[in-house]
Amino acid sequence: QVQLVESGGGLVQAGTSLRLSCTASRRIFSGNAMGWFRQAPGKEREFVAGISWNDGSTYGANSWVLNSVKGRFTISRDNAKNAIYLQMNNLKPEDTAVYYCAARDGSTWRGLYTTWGQGTQVTVSS
């Protein structure tokens, strides 16, 4: 049973933008923090962005992004749609990786992520 489904990856040129989406089952999404990870070929998986649960408002959830993407990537969540997003602007070739959506069993973004999507490929050409 697939519980997290990512979409939005693709092949783009450096300097352009992509928005990744992840839709979760209500059971996985409600009350839990969500995050985005990525894994480039030959490298370890790294935590790119996380967003805590916030009840009610679409905006204002506590979030964190990796220093190397700060100012370019933004994570957000839409509780009405059980979805999170990763807006990626000014993409660079070093952003090339498989991007994974993940969920925690807890409301804050910091901690162990235990549920994973299948991943979506992002390739940035120079």
For the chain, give percent helix, strand, coil, nearest 5. Answer: 10, 50, 40
* 72 CB-near residues (< 8 Å, 6+ apart): 88, 89, 90, 91
What are all long-range contacts of 65-72, with beta carbons under 8 Å and residues at least 24 apart?
A: 68/94, 69/95
What three-state secondary structure class fits 61?
Answer: coil
Residue 62's pLDDT is: 85
Q: How far, CA to CA in Å, does 126 sit from each of 15, 64, 67? A: 9, 27, 21
Q: Residues 107-123: what's their mean pLDDT?
A: 95
Residues in the chain: 126
**What are the pLDDT digits (tens) for 18-61?**
999 999 988 888 889 999 999 999 999 999 999 998 865 555 67
Residue 74 CA to residue 53 CA, distance in Å, equals: 16
